[in-house]
Structure 1
Amino acid sequence: MIITRTVLSTLYTGFSTAFQSGFSGVTPQYNRVAQVVPSTTRVNEYGWMADLPGIREWLGDRLVKNLETNSYQLRNKSFESTVGVKREDIEDDNLGMFGTIVTEMGRLSAVFPDEQVWPLLTNGWAGKCYDGKPFFSEDHPVLDKNGKKTTASNDLGGNGTPWFLLDTTRAVKPLIWQTRKAFNLVRMDAETDEHVFTAGQFRYGVDGRAVAGYGFWQLATGSKQELTPETYAEARALMLDRRGDNGRPLGLQPNLLVVPSSLEGVARKILLAENDAAGSTNVWKGTAEPFTTPWLAAA
């Protein structure tokens, strides 16, 4: 095959189709727990999360809450994946394997947010959120009903396999996927490219800019205790009773029990079985959805 601009354009069109096929062929899971935040700059500020206002009776002038913008930042990161196609493979029409590779690049691009978002839960006892505390902490700062500083916990302790109870029913989510530039297929396939001249290789790749981070700790509870009906009940009660500043009830609806594969059977028994271990009616059936994801293991 004689390499011409038309040949290279046709090749790129085929690769683009393969990429889109791979990208659209999977269903990512990260949006179950992460709020997608479009970014238009290098760094996004999230200090305002500490000051989300409630609604109060309007007596006198409005009570304005000043929004802080300097306590929590997420800086976008750049990511890429690149493959090279030898000139000889194009000349010899030996390109079958490259279509498969580009299809896989599309799939990997679609699930890449999962790789970044889900491990945040497992790492939540170390990773800091907007208040400067670890996402799962026993002493998140809040104000009590009298406006005095106190603390609240979303960490049930323990030292075993971690599991998580989340409220994902709201527009805001426990985690954040901040996206600056969507992943797309790019190319360096002009005959005049230096790499083509020196190495006889055309290059194709994907790149994007994004970052994963912590959102509202109030919407999550983490535990390393053994997962049992009793510890599940403890986590659920902690979330139902959780309050914001000034003692305002948050009205949480814990609806997603996230577990690694090793705890899937236990989670399903707690939330789906008709009867408990003693044969009595299972009072926790249907109170949340058991959710298992392989991406927790990536932490």
Structure 2
Amino acid sequence: MARVITAAILAAAQRGFKTAFQGAFSSTPSMYASVATIINSNTREEVYGWLGDFPKMREWIGDRQFQTMKTHSYSIVNRKFEGTVTVARDDIEDDRLGLYTPRFEMMGQSAAQHPDEIVFDLINSGFTSLCYDGQNFFDTDHPVGKEGAQVSVSNMQAGSGEMWILADLSRPLKPFVFQKRRDYAFTTKEDGATSDHVFMRDEYIYGVDARVAAGFGFWQMAFGSKAELNEANLRAAYVAMTEFTDDEGRKLNIAPTHLIVGNTNHFKARDVLLSKEINGTTNTNQNLVQIMHAPRLG
């Protein structure tokens, strides 16, 4: 005889599903926080007008010198995402809820990995998507200098291979931004047998939703390349980053910390950075930066 579905039974089912979801959500590793600064958003769209104003100290002689911040119109609009699972009423009546535990665990895992998806989708578009200065994030023509005396600065190498990125991830503001308006949350629609959906479909609805987005930070913090990953190209990218200056010509003291690579370049990166010798010669690049293997890159 099927048991009668009561409010207490539905509440117990929800607790079990939420526990499965939350357990997987909390234990699933992610990478986005390593490459992106997490910004809490308070509205549908955040305007990052201060990007381009790289803070730097100067000697105080005479009055303070007020730095006029360039005004940029770069903004990041929050996007809505959801995932939904239905549970048959018969399975709740028959106490077969254990069958759904893996589905809710997979939902939790998917939600935990979703920031990686949108952040690396953004990174993969870096050669063709604009950042705060109106140039593509990875570009040869970033304008640097005071008005009327600007020069073009490159943070990219052209090529036809898989993308790899040299990045300085040591700063409070990382090369990319993950914007969070509403965090990932487990939700349910349980109105008992009187629910229109339960009446028509004989099933209960559970889901997860969030309002988040990804965007570009300082282009100076990353150097993108599609050229072959080898000793010469890595060194050229490294030197280029250490030479970046602000609009007044002062070095920004960028020090690359990580080489971000996808699947194709993973072992190339290990050869270049971990080998003690290359072709019988001491590898002076050994442990120059850390390797970050990002399967979603490219």
The normalised TM-score by structure 1 is 0.95
Alignment partners' CA distance in 2, 1:187 and 1:14: 12
- Report the counterpart of residue 135 of structure 1 in structure 2: 137
C-alpha displacement of 1:68: 5.1
1:236 maps to which of 235, 238, 242: 238
- Report the counterpart of residue 16 of structure 2 in structure 1: 14
Contact 2:13 2:97 (C-alpha < 8 Å) held by counterparts: no
- Report the counterpart of residue 295 of structure 2 in structure 1: 294
Alignment partners' CA distance in 1, 2:92 and 2:71: 53
Contact 2:130 2:136 (C-alpha < 8 Å) held by counterparts: yes
Alignment partners' CA distance in 2, 1:85 and 1:214: 39
Deviations 1:229-251 (A, max 9, x none): 11111111111111121111011
Matched residue count: 295
- Report the counterpart of residue 75 of structure 2 in structure 1: 73
- Report the counterpart of residue 165 of structure 2 in structure 1: 164
Ranges in structure 2 where 5+ consecutive residues have no aligned partner: none
Superposition pairs of residues 45-194 of structure 1, within 5 angstroms: 45-67=47-69, 70-143=72-145, 148-191=149-192, 192-194=194-196
RMSD: 1.5
Deviations 1:110-161 (A, max 9, x none): 11111111232221111111111100000111106x9722221101112222
Contact 2:48 2:72 (C-alpha < 8 Å) held by counterparts: yes
- Report the counterpart of residue 212 of structure 1 in structure 2: 214
More divergent stretch after superposition (82-91 vs 209-218): 82-91
Alignment partners' CA distance in 1, 2:250 and 2:122: 28
Alignment partners' CA distance in 2, 1:69 and 1:108: 38
SS of the counterpart of 2:51? helix
Q: Which amino acid aligns with 1:193?
A: S
Q: Which runs of 4+ in 1 moved over 4 A?
A: none
Contact 1:260 1:292 (C-alpha < 8 Å) held by counterparts: yes
More divergent stretch after superposition (57-66 vs 216-225): 57-66
Contact 2:161 2:228 (C-alpha < 8 Å) held by counterparts: yes
Ranges in structure 1 where 5+ consecutive residues have no aligned partner: none
Deviations 1:75-95 (A, max 9, x none): 100100011111111112222
The normalised TM-score by structure 2 is 0.95
C-alpha displacement of 1:23: 0.5
Q: Which amino acid aligns with 1:190?
A: D
Alignment partners' CA distance in 2, 1:97 and 1:67: 57
- Report the counterpart of residue 29 of structure 2 in structure 1: 27
Contact 1:128 1:135 (C-alpha < 8 Å) held by counterparts: yes
More divergent stretch after superposition (95-104 vs 6-15): 95-104
Alignment partners' CA distance in 2, 1:194 and 1:161: 51
Q: Which amino acid aligns with 1:160?
A: G
C-alpha displacement of 1:39: 0.7
